[in-house]
Amino acid sequence: MIHLTVNGREMSLDVDPDTPLLWVLRDELRLTGTKFGCGVAQCGACTVMLDGMPRRSCVTPVGMIDNASVTTIEGMEGPEISAVQAAWAASDVPQCGWCQSGQVMSATALLRQIPKPTDEEIDHAMGGNLCRCATYVRIRQAIHDAARTLEG
Amino acid sequence: MRLSFLAAAVLAAAPALAQDLRGPDAFADIADDSARSAALFAEMGKVLTHPRCLNCHPVEGGPTQGDRMQAHNPPVIRGEADFGAVGMNCTTCHGSRNVSFTGSPGSIPGHEPWALAPISMGWVGRSLGEICAQMKDPERNGGKTLEQLHEHNAEDGLVGWGWDPGEGREPAPGSQKIFGELTRAWIDSGAACPS
């Protein structure tokens, strides 16, 4: 039995410990906001927060994170995620949308640690999140916009 | 001239793949302590210059990956804590152990902790003599005595990962046990460096 807190809710899961967290989130818990992209930690679509830090759920067996706290895009709260979501919508960042929950998770994690990131800091933090619609310029701009919103 | 150039090229820290690792007994017939010690370190160099070690001992930029030491993908930087960029630390992808991919060959390496060696311990492109001097220098080896260096080589878990690197990666030559024994014998013979 695996014990996790997912989006603030404690749960015990009767799953194979080798099952990737992404599978558990999507197939067992029906939290489908987190996407499968590559399965090999190359694209960032499956990014969740693990004990408050970004983590690729496709390469995270649940047996490795017993008793951890997981937050998915559905459970995100706070000023940073709100600012990111507003900036994302204002700039029409999502195109096909597949990578966007991962992008939003990584952008939020960045703004929680660096309230006003530079272009370089954004590129370094977001370099593991691919977008096949190539919205990278909009993503960077939206992160700057969200930072300005948070500045007040 | 050409031979000495080739020898220098071979001794520089380039990837050393698929080599056996001889234990200290193989060097017992070298009577001179200093010569034996330098030979023992050269044997240790098969491990030190293997991609499993070099990939995370860069002298500039971030880590490399794979047996061919290609650029890390996704692109990552060293970061202030030798732990990647703010917002994309090593632990964004690397967990506490190796994890096989689901649905495709290969694995993502992992260990607790997982981080780059500090820049003062960068080895890529350096000669074995230079690496040896670095390893002995407390200013550059994290303040370690030779005894602590032996403990590190013989028992540290992240060093040991080099022999258990997960599917899709060649292990370092020999074993951590032999590497520890070589380090012990190198220290006991005077910790001399190859010229």
CATH number of the domain residue A46 falls in: 3.10.20.30
Q: Give the residue from A58, A75, A92 where a domain finishes.
A: A75
Over residues B21-57, the pLDDT tens digits come to 999 999 999 999 999 999 999 999 999 999 999 999 9
Q: What is the mean pLDDT of residues B74-84?
A: 96
Q: What is the mean pLDDT of residues B10-22?
A: 67
Q: Across the A/B interface, how many CB contacts are shorter than 8 Å?
A: 77
Based on the domain organization, do A83 and A68 belong to the same domain?
Answer: no
Based on the domain organization, do A103 and A43 belong to the same domain?
Answer: no
Of the candidates B87, B101, B108, the beta carbon closest to that of A109 is on: B87
Q: Give the residue from A46, A75, A104 where a domain finishes.
A: A75
State the pTM of this model: 0.92
What are the distances in angstroms from CA A125 to CA A48, A103, A129?
A: 14, 10, 9
Q: Give the residue from A37, A58, A75 where a domain finishes.
A: A75
What are the distances in angstroms from CA B68 to CA B14, B72, B118, B138, B185?
A: 10, 11, 22, 31, 31
**Rounded-to-integer distance, Cα B97 and Cα B114, Å:** 9
Based on the domain organization, do A129 and A101 belong to the same domain?
Answer: yes
Over residues B135-188, the pLDDT tens digits come to 999 999 999 999 999 999 999 999 999 999 999 999 999 999 999 999 999 999
**Residues B125 and B39: beta-carbon distance below 8 Å:** no
Q: What is the mean pLDDT of residues A5-26?
A: 98
**Rounded-to-integer distance, Cα A105 and Cα A147, Å:** 15
CA distance B97 to chain A (A): 8
Give the DSSP H/E element, type plus range, for residue B89: strand B88-89
Per the structure, the count of domains in chain A is 2
**Which residues face A48 on adjacent strands?**
A55
- Chain A, residues 33-72, CB within 8 A of chain B, namely 39-42, 44, 47, 53-56, 58-61, 64-65
Based on the domain organization, do A37 and A19 belong to the same domain?
Answer: yes
Based on the domain organization, do A50 and A17 belong to the same domain?
Answer: yes
What is the residue range of A21's domain?
2-75
Instruction: Look up the CATH number of the domain holding residue A127.
Output: 1.10.150.120
In sequence order, which ranges of A30-135 are alpha helices (DSSP H)?
79-90, 100-113, 119-126
Based on the domain organization, do A134 and A105 belong to the same domain?
Answer: yes
Residues of A with Cβ-Cβ distance to B97 under 8 angstroms: 64
CA distance A42 to chain B (A): 6
Confidence at residue B13, expressed as pLDDT on a 0 to 100 scale: 63
Confidence at residue A6, expressed as pLDDT on a 0 to 100 scale: 98
Amino acid code (one letter) for A19: T
Based on the domain organization, do A16 and A66 belong to the same domain?
Answer: yes
**Rounded-to-integer distance, Cα B88 and Cα A107, Å:** 10
Based on the domain organization, do A96 and A145 belong to the same domain?
Answer: yes
Confidence at residue B9, expressed as pLDDT on a 0 to 100 scale: 40
Over residues B83-112, the pLDDT tens digits come to 999 999 999 999 999 999 998 999 999 999
Based on the domain organization, do A83 and A147 belong to the same domain?
Answer: yes
Based on the domain organization, do A14 and A64 belong to the same domain?
Answer: yes
Count helices and strands (H / E) in chain B.
Answer: 7, 6
Of the candidates A42, A65, A124, the beta carbon closest to that of B88 is on: A124
**Which residues face A70 on adjacent strands?**
A6, A50
Based on the domain organization, do A6 and A71 belong to the same domain?
Answer: yes
